[in-house]
Amino acid sequence: MTTLFEKIIAREIPANIEYEDEDCIVIHDIDPQAPIHLLIIPKCVIPRIAESDTSDPALIGRLFQKASYLAKKLNLEKGFRLVVNNGFDGGETVPHLHIHVLAGRKLEWPPG
């Protein structure tokens, strides 16, 4: 079954794209939980972080480096939060690993 993110990557579904390279696409979340809410999505399908295997560490590292790059590009020096949901109880709604980048307001703790 093709995920929503695969359809976005294939341009079958439109999205507001912030950044793209050979590893990933970064889009604006359609239901933002902060003034800035981006999704860093790998182009290869990894269903969730708990299912990443030993061939994925370099890619996963590059995804987190993209978050750092985006924080600099978007002047998020006041701070930002990275979130990776895993499984239904963890808040996962799309079975395709992605990193949420939340910023633009003071983020509370605990998150919810």
The predicted-structure confidence for 16-50, as pLDDT tens digits, reads as follows: 999 999 999 999 999 999 999 999 999 999 999 99
98 labelled catalytic = yes
Distances in whole angstroms, Cα of residue 81 to Cα of each of 3, 30, 62, 92, 111? 25, 18, 17, 17, 10
Is 98 buried (19+), middle (13-18) or exposed (0-12) by CB count in 10 A? buried
Q: What is the pLDDT of residue 90?
A: 93
- Indicate if the pLDDT at residue 61 is higher than 70: yes
Q: Which of 37, 96, 98, 100 is catalytic?
A: 98
The model's confidence at residue 13, banded by pLDDT at 50, 70 and 90, is very high
CATH of domain 4-103: 3.30.428.10
User: pTM value?
Assistant: 0.94
**Closest of 51, 108, 45, 47 to residue 81, by C-alpha:** 108
In whole angstroms, what is the distance from residue 109 CA to residue 13 CA? 34
Cα angle at 95 between 89 and 100, to 5 degrees? 75
